[in-house]
Amino acid sequence: MTATVAIGFDPGLAITGYGVVQDAEDGWRVLAGGVIRTRSDQPRAERLRDLCQEARELIEMYRPCGVAIEEVFFATNAQTAMRTAEARGALLVAAAAVPVRGYTPLQVKKRITGYGKAEKAQVQAMVKRLLRLPEIPKPDDMADGLALALCYLLDARGPEGVDDVYL
């Protein structure tokens, strides 16, 4: 098996978490993780442009087999949902050259913990365990990005492999 790399993005206009995970013969390995921050004093279009550019740079640097982006799922605040959806759109533009998969929070929880209603702390503990990390990744946005990258790689190991499917 050759090493396979996936990038996961947890979209947000102010903060987007990301995780870059490699699946190799000896197991999963974190290549990078962090957050992309945009400045609140900039116009929204500039913030989205900056997010797209930084995400594109990560994709060019790590050359992933695919990208996982969390689906927007909000039931309470429409304005937050709209801004998150716009950030997600910027990430989709950045990832136009590679296969992209979308995952709902429930799908991430189920793939990582086996239980779709798992608490955030349970997901973070499993990310730590699956990636053999010394501690739970911080900040939470980065941990979510790593979980999304793991989802993509878990699907890649599945019987049908990964194709360019936008779930």
Catalytic residue among 54, 141, 144, 155: 141
Strand partners, 14: none
- Is 70 labeled as catalytic in the residue annotation? yes
Give the pLDDT confidence of 9-42 residue by residue, as tens digits.
999 999 999 999 999 888 999 999 999 999 999 9
Torsion of CA 109, 28, 148, 105, to 10 degrees: 0
Fold assignment, 4-157: Nucleotidyltransferase; domain 5 (3.30.420)
Query: Where are the chain's structural domains?
Result: 4-157
Please tell me the pTM assigned to this model: 0.92
Give the pLDDT confidence of 34-54 residue by residue, as tens digits.
999 999 999 999 999 999 999
- Is 26 labeled as catalytic in the residue annotation? no
Contact predicate 97/63, CB 8 Å: no
